[in-house]
Amino acid sequence: MKVPLKLLKFAQRCRWLAKQASSRQRNETDIRQILVRCARRYPGRGLYYVASVSGIENPTFTTYMELLNRAVLISSALKAKGLSQGRVIVLYFSNHQDNIEYFWGALFAGLLPCVLGPLNPSVPGKNSKMVSYLHRLLNKPVFLTRQSQCQDLSNVNEEDTLEILTADELESKAVMTKRTTSHRQHGGSPYDTTLLLLTSGSTGMPKAVELTHGNVFAASQAKAATYNLTGDDTVLNWVGFDHVACAVENHITPMCVGANQVHVLAPLLLNDVGSFFKMIEHHGITLTFAPNFLLAKMNSCLRENMEQYRGKLNLSNLRRINSGGEANVVETGQQLLEALEKADTGFSGCITPGFGMTETCAGCIYNVGYPLVDAGRELASVGRCVKSAQMRIVDKDGKETSSGSVGALQIRGRMVFKGYFNNPVATRESFTDGWFKTGDCGFVVDGVLTLTGRANDSIIVNGINYGTSELERLLENVPGITKSFVAVFTTRPPGSGHEHLAIVYLPSFAYPDDEETLVKTHAAIRERTVLYCSKVPDLILPLPQKSMEKTSLGKLPRGQLRKQLEGGGFDRHLSKVEEIFAKRRQGLKASPVTPAENMLATFWSQIFGVPEESLDAEENFFERGGSSLEVIRYKSMIVEHFSLEDNWPVIRIMQYPTIRSLAHHLTSETQLAENVNPNSNYDPLICLQPTGSRTPVFFIHPGVGEVLIFVNLAKYFIGERPFYALRARGFDEGQTYFESMEEMVETYTRAIERKQPHGPYALAGYSYGGIVAFEIAKKLEARNAEVKFVGLVNIPPHIKSRMLEINWTDGFLNLSYFLEFITKPEAIELASQLLPLSRREQLDYVWHRAPKARRAELGLDVERLEKWVDLAQSLLACGRAYEPSGMVRGCDLTVFYAEPLKGTKTDWLVNQLQDWTKYAHRNVQYVDVPGSHYTLMNQVYVAHFQKIFKDSLANAGL
């Protein structure tokens, strides 16, 4: 059968297209073709190298074609040395141009390049150990460097004889004379390793990450698409070539589309942010990289030199600033964008926090909505995966978690590495079912990843994980600490049954001579640590500069610091600090004296994990680090030792927070006297935090009357301002309940005036307490006192109808939910079931459903629970006749609103809370806070609430 000519030509065309597609596919399995194709397609584009400040405007320029020719020439010289195909070659150079040219030269020679970052000449012993380790790990590689840097590779063990080549020798006329006219190479497989990059080695010696041709192709294509890169772009890189962010992200990726590249040595930019701006402007940079610390520097530089930059700095070409390497603070991004706009820079691009590792070819997850999508949070999420990567969160059993649940982050995809070179054990331990175990923890909501820390970089207190990175950020602004030179990690001393919390830092003062500043710095570190994680550091240690070296991305290697500490490397510094503090403790400390004081000191020692001899009888329990959980444990110890009733009031710990005052209370006639005239001895004020010189905060109890809910919040004010909570009358035996709102308000107002005779006053109330705070503010103003802040937490002005609809059963179930005896769904479900029962039957039913551990923690019995319900009912009765009237005139009202008990948040705000506008002579600030009505101050949300609350105080001038 004769085939029609038209059909024959069509078949031939199909075969040709298939052949071309196959050819392109083969080319995309060998990254050398990226440079070949780029050089041919974009002959006028290339790389700028900046080695000095003067080089910003006069850099060295090399086209991609010149780079290709140079690489081929180098490959010829390497081949002439007889190096076998596939052998590892360690590149050790001090500048980008050498690294880039010899990287490509090694690839074209069929070698496997591994880039070694800068070694510190001041610690030759450490260097020799590293070089010897790499010599064995990489199967006796050849080292390639400059003659001037050979000294860094010397002094290795005798058995580790290195083969070292110098670029100076290769570039001599005697060697580099043979020219290769063809760029063709034997094609590689996408599964072949093309590049080795070393991990940071933060936990010891680094591992060598094997990146394949396929990894690099997939990563570069995904990044180029994500960044919308074209040949018209110019990318600025200051990261060393030993880092994946340079090699893959800022070098090979822009090469894929023919974009220009500018490479500059990091110190030129990091030590002078003005040069960073100048570089971006002069070269028309469209994409660059800046970790959070550099974003903060950019912000400070602009704000401190606003007049110098306003209208004179042109950043209009800059479309994107990638950020990573450390967590991004939302406020930093917000402030930088504001400063860029105020300076009229023309910047309209985005700052994109992301996540990536050497093992994932750098960034594989990006947050393109920062900082707007993270408003109200302290730290930014890191966003969504690029197309060549997938992520999941798993629990400790390896099962994928539900949305919002914290677990271990795992990633898979074409850009995820092959394995660790010559380390099958580490490779095997890093993968599960094809998923790479990153070692990071986080959660995913709607496809967006939020990191919570490294799995091994967290502090666990009372079962709750606290990230060391976040604590480091809290500490880096402590006076006495060199900014960004503080590291937090856990360590387990020999023979210890638990991990200790260690904090090391670089002092900014004259240590060890300036002992006064040392003491103040350590006190501030303790205070901020306690307010963050309710734990006193076991070790605080100032270290010299040489012990606090950073990685190329500006990170302090916690793992190496931990290893040095545990290996005795810091013993000399530890002894010096202890000597200073031991000397100062003599004669300054009020030691426990009486048997009761010594016993309480024993309890403190067990609770806080500190020696008894270090304790001061006049120290405050809450300053030392006591949270609500420590309060419960302390009470249990006291009740058992002093043979008290189980229902001994836990509030006594707050009323008598020092060892001396509580010991006196427990052993004196005070307890008997309280029963003689309980109402006359009633003082509503409970000091939860006494330190600080700023205006005190007075926080009024919610509708349950108790103030334990404020313990965790009060810690955040240590060293800043005193924190007082007001507790309802009626908890102690013989005390009567308040009979009216007016009586309660007058009693609380007098107590506040006794503690603080003159304004300005800062008042706040949680739920029901917000109404009381509003009335106290009016009363103080009527007495010509200045009220500067009134905070109303999730309460509308009109409460009468709600008070009238809550019967005894409703109030009992609300209290039971508040005490965590039952869940919210159970409280709703039980309302109709319990209503027909007697009070005692209702109490018994819930009591037996409540967790035994929780009942024991609170020290309640059924009788005390019933009395507590009656007290709450008395407060409701005071509110049933309440109608708001008058206005607060001297300050704004600040209304903090969370998820309501019923309905939606929007309905709650618009239809109920916004009625406060009628009762403020000035403005009303409505502030959204995370959590729900009953949870906004619990362990999960209190860190968020305190920051928002403090910001509101600051806005009020306090």
Instruction: Return the number of other C-beta atoms located less than 10 Å from residue 612's C-beta.
Output: 14
CA 320, CA 352: separation in Å to the nearest integer?
Answer: 7
User: Contact 397/383 with Cβ under 8 angstroms?
Assistant: no
Q: What is the pLDDT of residue 22?
A: 40
CA 378, CA 381: separation in Å to the nearest integer?
Answer: 10
Q: What is the pLDDT of residue 26?
A: 42
Q: What is the pLDDT of residue 156?
A: 67
Closest CA to 468 of 394, 395, 558: 558
Q: How many residues does the chain have?
A: 958
Regions of the chain short of the pLDDT cut 50: 1, 3, 7, 9-10, 13-14, 16-27, 174, 180-181, 462-464, 497, 670, 672-676
CA 144, CA 75: separation in Å to the nearest integer?
Answer: 13
Closest CA to 718 of 486, 533, 918: 533
- CA 952, 954, 955 angle in degrees (round to 5)? 65
CA 269, CA 263: separation in Å to the nearest integer?
Answer: 11
Amino acid at 655: Q
- CA 551, 557, 559 angle in degrees (round to 5)? 150
CA 380, CA 642: separation in Å to the nearest integer?
Answer: 49
In sequence order, the 6+-apart residues with CB closer than 8 A to the CB of 56 are 50, 264, 268, 275, 278, 279, 282
The pairing of beta strand 112-115 with beta strand 193-198:
parallel
Token couple for 690: 């006494």
Q: H or E stretch including 289?
A: strand 287-289
Residues of 312-326 as b/e, b for ≥16 C-beta within 10 angstroms?
A: ebbbebbbbbbbbbb
Q: H or E stretch including 261?
A: strand 260-264
User: Contact 102/72 with Cβ under 8 angstroms?
Assistant: no
Cis peptide before 884 (omega within 30 of 0): no
Instruction: Return the number of other C-beta atoms located less than 10 Å from residue 805's C-beta.
Output: 9
Token couple for 852: 């035994």
Instruction: Return the number of other C-beta atoms located less than 10 Å from residue 131's C-beta.
Output: 22
Query: Of 628, 767, 816, 952, which is the active-site residue?
Result: 767
What one-character-per-residue DSSP string does 145-185 give? E-GGGGGGG-S--TT---EEEEHHHHTSTTTTT--------
**pLDDT tens readout for residues 617-662:** 888 787 676 766 677 778 878 988 888 876 677 778 877 888 998 9
Residues of 448-467 as b/e, b for ≥16 C-beta within 10 angstroms?
A: bbbbbbbeebbbebeeeebb
Residues of 348-387 as b/e, b for ≥16 C-beta within 10 angstroms?
A: ebbbbbbbbbbbbbbbbbbbebbbeebeebebbbbbbbbe
In sequence order, the 6+-apart residues with CB closer than 8 A to the CB of 561 are 487, 489, 504, 547
- DSSP state for residue 298 in the 8-state scheme: H
Q: What is the pLDDT of residue 312?
A: 94
Q: What is the pLDDT of residue 23?
A: 40
Give residue for tokens 């869940």: 823
Q: What is the pLDDT of residue 556?
A: 83
Token couple for 634: 């302390």
Token couple for 729: 């009358």
Task: State the Rg of the chain over Cα.
Answer: 33
CA 778, CA 763: separation in Å to the nearest integer?
Answer: 11
pTM above 0.85, yes or no: no
Annotated active-site residue 75? The verdict is no
Q: What is the pLDDT of residue 456?
A: 61
User: Contact 813/834 with Cβ under 8 angstroms?
Assistant: yes
How far, CA to CA in Å, does 638 sit from each of 200, 536, 674, 855? Answer: 49, 22, 19, 17
CA 306, CA 300: separation in Å to the nearest integer?
Answer: 10
Sign of the dihedral defined by the CA atoms of residues 516, 520, 522, 523, in that order: positive
How far, CA to CA in Å, does 316 sit from each of 291, 311, 368, 808? Answer: 21, 12, 18, 65
Q: H or E stretch including 47?
A: strand 46-50
Sign of the dihedral defined by the CA atoms of residues 375, 377, 378, 383, in that order: negative
Amino acid at 211: L
CA 201, CA 195: separation in Å to the nearest integer?
Answer: 18
User: Contact 271/298 with Cβ under 8 angstroms?
Assistant: no
User: Contact 779/884 with Cβ under 8 angstroms?
Assistant: no
The end-to-end CA distance of the chain, in Å, is: 96
In sequence order, the 6+-apart residues with CB closer than 8 A to the CB of 80 are 175, 178
Q: Look at residue 883 and give its three-state secondary structure.
A: coil
In sequence order, the 6+-apart residues with CB closer than 8 A to the CB of 766 are 699, 700, 701, 702, 709, 710, 793, 794, 937
CA 768, CA 933: separation in Å to the nearest integer?
Answer: 11
Give residue for tokens 């856990």: 490
Cis peptide before 930 (omega within 30 of 0): no
What one-character-per-residue DSSP string does 204-254 give? SSPPEEEEEHHHHHHHHHHHHHHHT--TT-EEEE-S-TTSHIIIIIIIIHH
Closest CA to 249 of 208, 197, 203: 197
SS3 content of the chain, % helix, strand, coil (to 5): 45, 20, 35
Cis peptide before 43 (omega within 30 of 0): no
Amino acid at 855: R
